């Protein structure tokens, strides 16, 4: 059986999935990324892990390896200056992989782009050619599809909506700029917003008893469900900002669908409804009432691994190796 | 000789150009759009004009007709609810054209998209696959190229950067929203900004003697060249806002080049330099010092007509009719 491997390189863990063309994950395993301060032994560990699992499944035929990683550059096959990985500088990741897996097609892109590819191949975007995937985790990632293809941009780094500007001189962002979208819309951002609301309002809230460092978007969501007014205000504000920036996004590429992925997306209508309302309010007339905002079709799956695997299948197709 | 016709439908005038595949405009003519309150006699006028000129050039072989028009929808071949045209509702423009010119390939898109197509085929973007064209006239139009193709979006209306948001509850825009980019960056916007600066500052300026309705971006540019400090401030502010929104644009599609077209673009470094400075200041680190902002390569040509003609050539190629 032909399979590809999808690798999701996170700051903490690396997850490896063995996936069929139909998007069935046959096996998943993981190890700690942080155990490898340099990349060569990390690649060795990858190779050993993959070889071991392949040797247990002689009927699997490895066709390609796809990788989702922070600051990954599809065009160059590199990971460049990723702030939350120990490997500094420019890592020629695909070259390293191909050295250890000769004759295997490899491709790399950032995690949100990989998730978008997964949505296209296995999720709710199968029949769509213009859509956007927004991943709401620690930060805000995005992957754009235009004319049926993922947008990599001239340099391989397109799709960084998390770093579009909301407010000049706004909240400090990990990227070094201020006022970036992901400082207002992400799991971490929701906690920042909650803290701001707690100081500006004098209404009571169960969250006044929770230290900042213990607050999570999930606990705020729970408070909202229990009727906490300020928690509701927090999600309203988050949706408002996201809606404004999605209206901007629509002016760029006019997608038919915008999919939300990640823990915050699991809040469903608590986040989608205020986002839609704000987007519609700000949309140019010709775009009103036609752009759908929905939960990702892969919300309960490992979209990062499936997406990385989808990237490999897509690459095999592009190179005529399928 | 094979030719296509490029038609630029403006609110006031319609310009018709007869163009070779190499982008040489062999003949241009025009008539007033406003003479035709309904579209059927307008199409008849187009037909008569085109037939007359073709009959004078028996060696020209008409292959296709491309149209640039406000609110034009490439997918449907329509002009929809264009605010500055007398024809209301949805006009099936390509159908009407094809009725009068059977066996001729037709295509329509908005004027900025057509200009982008012209830049790609005849201008400075010949070898580029990811770039953006910004047209600075009465409004701000834009055409985006991604992966070598024009971005039409799911509904045919993509590329409306003029209506991305700068300030919530900002300046009133013709579209009905407030705070749109084109109310801060366009020929008209520059006059609005100048008026704002004149009221906020107490410095002298030659422009204090000019009524609002007589001020133009050109007269402000002239004042700047003559050393008027407030006129300089006006272009600085315009560039600052444009730079911020271009930094956002780069986060979406990461173009290698951004071309400026239209009267304001003719100001050259007076507008490009402050725009670049502001864009670089706001760009995410991975994008810094690699995106070029330049004048359009068609600045002294009729880009709208050339672009509409290029659209026709592209359509012939797409349909295998070349």
Predicted complex ipTM: 0.93
> Domain check: are A212 and A258 in the same one?
yes
Domain that holds residue A104: 2-117+301-318
Q: Which of A154, A252, A253 sits opposite B256 (nearest CB)?
A: A154
Look up tokens 């919300």; give the residue. A299
Note whether residue A52 is domain-resident. yes
- Counting every residue written for chain A, the total comes to 322
Given a cut of 70, the residues of chain B with pLDDT beneath it are none
pLDDT band at A315 (very low <50, low <70, confident <90, very high): very high
Q: CA Rg, chain A, in Å?
A: 20
Contacts of A164 in chain B (CB under 8 A): 247-248, 251-252
> Which pLDDT score, from 0 to 100, does residue A184 have?
98
Q: Provide the mean pLDDT of chain A.
A: 95
Angle in degrees, 0-180, between the axes of helices B217-225 and B229-253, rounded to the nearest 10: 120
Sort out which chain B residues have CB atoms less than 8 A from A249's CB and list them.
Answer: 252
Q: For residue B30, is it within any domain? A: yes
In this structure, the strands spanning A105-109 and A61-68 are parallel
Q: Is residue A122 part of a domain?
A: no
Contacts of B161 in chain A (CB under 8 A): 251-252
The reply to whether B24 and B62 lie within a common domain is yes
Considering the domain boundaries, does residue A194 fall inside one?
Answer: yes
Average pLDDT over residues A295-312: 93
Pair B45, B92 in one domain: yes
**Total structural domains within chain B:** 2
Distance from CA of A125 to the nearest CA of B (A): 13
Question: Is B312 within a domain?
Answer: yes
Whole-Å CA distances, A252 to A27, A246, A286, B299:
39, 10, 13, 23
Residue B245 CA to residue B251 CA, distance in Å, equals 10
CA distance B279 to A177: 12
Q: How far apart are CA B287 and CA B292, in angstroms?
A: 11
Q: What is the pLDDT of residue A194?
A: 98
Residue B123 lies in a domain: no
Residue with tokens 């997608």: A255
Among A43, A60, A53, A58, residue whose Cα is nearest residue A4: A60
Answer yes or no: do B173 and B201 share one domain.
Answer: yes
Cβ separation of B157 and A290 shorter than 8 Å? no
Domain assignment present for A260: yes
A173, closest residue in chain B (CA to CA): B284
Residues A139 and A217 in one domain: yes
CB contact under 8 A, B165 and A254: no
Q: Which residue has the higher pLDDT, A72 or B82?
A: A72
| Cα–Cα nearest to A96, from A113, A108, A82 | A108
Residues A191, A57: one domain?
no
User: Strand A131-136 to strand A105-109: parallel, antiparallel, or no bridges (unpaired)?
Assistant: unpaired
As a whole number of Å, the end-to-end CA separation of chain B is 13
Decide if A252 and B247 are in contact by the 8 Å CB cutoff: no
- Beta strand spans in A236-302 (E): 257-261, 292-295
A182 and A221 part of one domain: yes
- A91 token code pair: 């890592």
> Residue A229 to residues A204, A205, A215, A267: CA-CA distances in angstroms?
8, 7, 16, 16
Output the six-digit token pair for A106: 């490899």
Residue B178 CB partners (closer than 8 Å, separation 6+): B168, B169, B170, B171, B172
- Counting one residue from chain A and one from chain B, the pairs whose CB atoms sit within 8 A come to 146
- Quote the minimal CA–CA distance from B34 to chain A in Å: 24
Domain with B195 in it: what CATH number? 3.30.420.40
Beta carbons within 8 Å of A66's beta carbon, 6+ residues apart: A4, A5, A6, A7, A106, A107, A108, A114, A307, A308, A309, A310, A311, A312, A313, A315
At residue B130, the pLDDT reads 98
Range B63-86 burial, b when 16+ CB lie within 10 A, else e:
bbbbbbbbbbbbebbbbbebeebe
Where do the DSSP E strands lie in A93-189? 105-109, 131-136, 140-146, 149-150
Q: What are phi and psi of B210, to 5 degrees?
A: -110, 130
Measured CA to CA, the distance from residue A242 to residue A183 in angstroms comes to: 11
**Contact assessment for residue A61 and residue A105, using Cβ atoms and an 8 Å cutoff:** no
* A247 and A217 together in one domain: yes
Taking the CA of residue B115 and the nearest CA in chain A, the distance in Å comes to 16
Whether residue B249 sits in one domain with residue B142: yes
* pLDDT value at residue B113: 95
Q: Are residues B100 and B134 in the same domain?
A: no
Identify the closest residue of chain B to A90 by CA–CA distance: B286
Is the same domain home to A98 and A23? yes
Q: Of B71, B151, B168, which is closest to A286 when you measure between CB atoms?
A: B71
Q: Is residue B163 domain-resident?
A: yes
B155 and B110, same domain (yes or no): no
Q: Which of A149, A175, A255 sits opposite B147 (nearest CB)?
A: A149
Bridge partners for A61 per DSSP: A2
């Amino acid at each position: 059986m032909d399979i590809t491997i999808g690798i999701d390189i996170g700051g903490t863990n690396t997850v490896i999935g063995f996936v069929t063309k139909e998007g069935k994950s046959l096996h998943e395993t993981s190890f700690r990324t942080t155990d490898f301060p340099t990349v060569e032994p990390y690649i060795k560990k990858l190779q050993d892990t993959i070889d071991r699992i392949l040797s247990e499944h002689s009927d699997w035929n490895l066709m390609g390896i796809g990788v989702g990683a922070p600051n990954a550059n599809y065009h160059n096959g590199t990971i460049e200056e990723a702030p939350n990985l120990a490997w500094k500088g420019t890592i020629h990741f695909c070259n390293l992989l191909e050295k250890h897996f000769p004759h295997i097609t490899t491709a790399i892109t950032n995690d949100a782009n990989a998730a978008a590819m997964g949505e296209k191949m296995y999720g709710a975007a199968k029949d769509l050619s213009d859509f956007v995937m927004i991943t709401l985790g620690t930060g805000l990632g995005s992957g754009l599809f235009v004319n049926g293809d993922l947008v990599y941009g001239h340099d391989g780094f397109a799709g960084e909506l998390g770093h579009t500007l909301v407010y000049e001189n706004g909240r400090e962002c990990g990227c070094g700029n201020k006022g970036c979208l992901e400082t207002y819309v992400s799991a971490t951002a929701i906690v920042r917003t909650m803290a701001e609301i707690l100081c500006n309002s004098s209404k009571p809230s169960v969250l006044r008893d929770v230290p900042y460092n213990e607050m999570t978007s999930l606990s705020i969501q729970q408070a909202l469900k229990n009727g906490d007014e300020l928690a509701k205000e927090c999600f309203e504000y988050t949706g408002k900002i996201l809606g404004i920036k999605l209206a901007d996004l629509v002016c760029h590429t006019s997608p038919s669908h915008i999919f939300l992925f990640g823990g915050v997306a699991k809040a469903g209508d608590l986040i989608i409804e205020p986002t839609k309302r704000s987007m519609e309010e700000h949309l140019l007339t010709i775009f009103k009432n036609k752009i759908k905002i929905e939960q990702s079709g892969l919300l309960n799956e490992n979209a990062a691994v499936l997406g990385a695997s989808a990237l490999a299948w897509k690459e095999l197709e592009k190179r005529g190796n399928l």
